[in-house]
């Protein structure tokens, strides 16, 4: 059987995982008798005949050229996931593929544009999670705010803050309610990445997630990555980043002054100003010791039905990353690349690239008006 020269099995693995498909499911979709054949394609033992590759391309909605594109060898370790243990394997695999494609897109755009330099504060060198104290976390949040001259008021836009200081940020659906965000600072790259999940659609949650991931980048970059496999240590890392995010969002002195009374009505009034969840404010008050031990705020939150959805959640628009979107728009508006050329260069499709770059749906669709011209 004649195969396809240049076929890259790792690309098939990416495309299949991105769609959340098992080898068995993909084999059935394209009419193969056994999933073993898919495994052989993915491991490079055989390559699919042209007609089979066409079927794979159609079912996985990736251009044929994608499967002939070499995969760059990159640092594959060091990802920090929120709620890692609760996320399914399929959800984690989809996230990893999304991250690989994010790096492909970033590398491509940086070939044309100068991105903001990485400008992150030095909050200390921590090589072990257990040595990081609560006071050090509070100091780290304060140091970061001072470094960026944010004052002690509400943070205007978390996504913009990260992007302006050299962090690559993307936002999109991860296909799992238990996977809120993830981040990485690869050893083979000069800048960190943050991916914010959009599945829950909460603007205040997304702001918290962005700063939680910043906590990982600042506090845990030098920690041995093997600790990610230790559940106890991993939970401790998560708790530290929760604390960092709240300390960054709600500086103790200013927030305490704004809170005239530790009641749900007070928190409700402060939510539009600080753009922080009511439940997060309650936790912050517990951290700062400004609540009586016998407070019943959690009981009352449950009675009001605010556990899963709070007031104002539908009124706040999520903060959208704009660096990647604007980079693509600049290439097109300045005649450097057409929409079609960008899709061809990246061997991708508009439904995959648009969410990754936070572009409006349909922005990169092919247009006959770009192809047809009147005769002179």
Coil, helix or strand at residue 256: helix
317 part of a folded domain: no
Work out the mean pLDDT of the chain and round it to a whole number: 91
Residue partners of 73: CB distance under 8 A and separation at least 6: none
Q: Give me the CATH number covering residue 222.
A: 1.10.10.2910
Q: What is the pLDDT of residues 89-144, one digit of tens each?
A: 888 888 889 999 999 999 999 999 999 999 999 999 999 999 999 999 999 999 99
Looking at the fold, whether 44 and 88 belong to one and the same domain comes out as: no
Percentage of the chain lying above the pLDDT 70 cut = 93
Q: In terms of DSSP H, where are the helices of the chain?
A: 9-18, 23-30, 35-42, 50-60, 89-110, 134-147, 158-164, 203-219, 231-249, 252-258, 264-274, 278-288, 297-303, 323-333, 339-346, 350-356, 368-371
Residue partners of 186: CB distance under 8 A and separation at least 6: 74, 75, 78, 103, 193
What is the dihedral sign for C-alpha 94, 100, 104, 109? positive
Q: What is the pLDDT of residues 242-275, one digit of tens each?
A: 999 999 999 999 999 999 999 999 999 999 999 9
16 part of a folded domain: yes
Looking at the fold, whether 99 and 146 belong to one and the same domain comes out as: yes
Looking at the fold, whether 216 and 266 belong to one and the same domain comes out as: yes
| Parallel/antiparallel/unpaired status of strands 80-81 and 193-197 | unpaired
Which of 22, 48, 68 corresponds to the end of one domain? 68
Which residues partner with 197 through β-bridges?
172
Which of 36, 68, 100 corresponds to the end of one domain? 68
Q: What is the pLDDT of residues 311-340, one digit of tens each?
A: 999 999 999 999 999 999 999 999 999 999
What is the dihedral sign for C-alpha 171, 176, 177, 181? negative
DSSP secondary-structure letter at 190? Answer: S
2 part of a folded domain: no
Question: How far apart (Å, rounded) are the C-alpha atoms in residues 347 and 62?
Answer: 8
Looking at the fold, whether 152 and 60 belong to one and the same domain comes out as: no
Looking at the fold, whether 116 and 60 belong to one and the same domain comes out as: no
Looking at the fold, whether 177 and 41 belong to one and the same domain comes out as: no
Provide the pLDDT confidence category of residue 369 given band limits of 50, 70 and 90: very low
Looking at the fold, whether 146 and 273 belong to one and the same domain comes out as: yes
Show the 3-state SS of 84-111: HHHCCHHHHHHHHHHHHHHHHHHHHHHC
Question: How far apart (Å, rounded) are the C-alpha atoms in residues 50 and 155?
Answer: 53
Looking at the fold, whether 145 and 241 belong to one and the same domain comes out as: yes
Question: How far apart (Å, rounded) are the C-alpha atoms in residues 234 and 85?
Answer: 9
Q: Which residues span the domain enclosing 330? A: 323-371
Between 29 and 82, where is the model more confident?
Answer: 29
Looking at the fold, whether 125 and 272 belong to one and the same domain comes out as: yes
Between 154 and 90, where is the model more confident?
Answer: 154
> Closest Cα partner for 79 from 45, 50, 102, 63?
102
Looking at the fold, whether 64 and 85 belong to one and the same domain comes out as: no
- What is the average pLDDT across 147-155? 97
Looking at the fold, whether 273 and 166 belong to one and the same domain comes out as: yes
Please report, for residues 10, 114, 117, 200, 329, the alpha-carbon distance to residue 160 in angstroms, rounded to integers and kept in the order given: 34, 17, 14, 20, 17
Q: Give me the CATH number covering residue 48.
A: 1.10.260.40
43 part of a folded domain: yes
166 part of a folded domain: yes
Which of 28, 45, 68 corresponds to the end of one domain? 68
> Closest Cα partner for 109 from 366, 330, 320?
330
294 part of a folded domain: yes
Phi and psi of 243, rounded to 5°? -60, -45
Looking at the fold, whether 59 and 86 belong to one and the same domain comes out as: no
Provide the number of structural domains found in the chain: 3
311 part of a folded domain: no
376 part of a folded domain: no
Provide the pLDDT confidence category of residue 368 given band limits of 50, 70 and 90: very low
Provide the pLDDT confidence category of residue 83 given band limits of 50, 70 and 90: low
Provide the pLDDT confidence category of residue 365 given band limits of 50, 70 and 90: confident
Question: How far apart (Å, rounded) are the C-alpha atoms in residues 40 and 312?
Answer: 52
């Amino acid at each position: 059987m004649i195969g396809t020269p240049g076929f890259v099995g790792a690309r098939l693995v990416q495309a299949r995982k991105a769609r959340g498909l098992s080898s068995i499911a993909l084999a059935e979709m394209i009419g193969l008798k056994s999933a073993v054949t898919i495994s052989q394609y993915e491991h490079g033992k055989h390559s699919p005949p042209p007609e089979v590759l066409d079927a794979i391309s159609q079912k996985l909605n990736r251009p044929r050229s994608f499967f002939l594109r070499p995969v760059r060898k990159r640092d594959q370790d060091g990802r920090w996931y929120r709620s890692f243990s609760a996320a399914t394997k399929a959800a984690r695999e989809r996230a990893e593929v999304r991250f690989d494609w994010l790096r492909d897109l970033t590398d491509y755009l940086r070939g044309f544009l100068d991105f903001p330099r990485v400008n992150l504060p030095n909050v200390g060198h921590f090589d072990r999670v257990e040595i990081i104290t609560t006071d050090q976390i509070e100091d780290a949040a304060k140091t970061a705010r001072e470094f960026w001259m944010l004052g002690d008021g509400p943070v205007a836009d978390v996504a913009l803050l990260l992007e302006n200081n050299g962090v690559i940020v993307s936002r999109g659906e991860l296909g799992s309610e238990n996977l809120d965000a993830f981040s990485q600072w690869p050893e083979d790259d000069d800048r960190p990445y943050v991916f914010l999940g959009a599945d829950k659609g909460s603007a205040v949650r997304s702001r918290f997630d962005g700063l939680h991931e910043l906590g990982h980048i600042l506090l845990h970059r030098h920690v041995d990555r093997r600790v990610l496999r230790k559940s106890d240590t991993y939970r401790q890392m998560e708790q530290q980043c929760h604390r960092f995010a709240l300390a960054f969002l709600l500086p103790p002195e200013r927030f305490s002054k704004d809170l005239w009374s530790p009641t749900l009505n007070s928190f409700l009034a402060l939510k539009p100003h600080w753009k922080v969840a009511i439940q997060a404010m309650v936790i912050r008050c517990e951290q700062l010791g400004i609540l009586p031990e016998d407070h019943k705020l959690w009981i009352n939150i449950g009675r009001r039905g605010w556990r899963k959805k709070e007031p104002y959640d539908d009124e706040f628009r999520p903060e959208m990353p704009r660096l990647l979107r604007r980079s693509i728009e600049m290439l097109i508006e300045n005649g450097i690349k057409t929409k079609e050329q960008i899709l061809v260069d990246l061997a991708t499709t508009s439904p995959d690239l648009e969410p990754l770059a936070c572009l409006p749906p349909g922005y990169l669709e092919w247009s006959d008006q770009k192809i047809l011209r009147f005769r002179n």
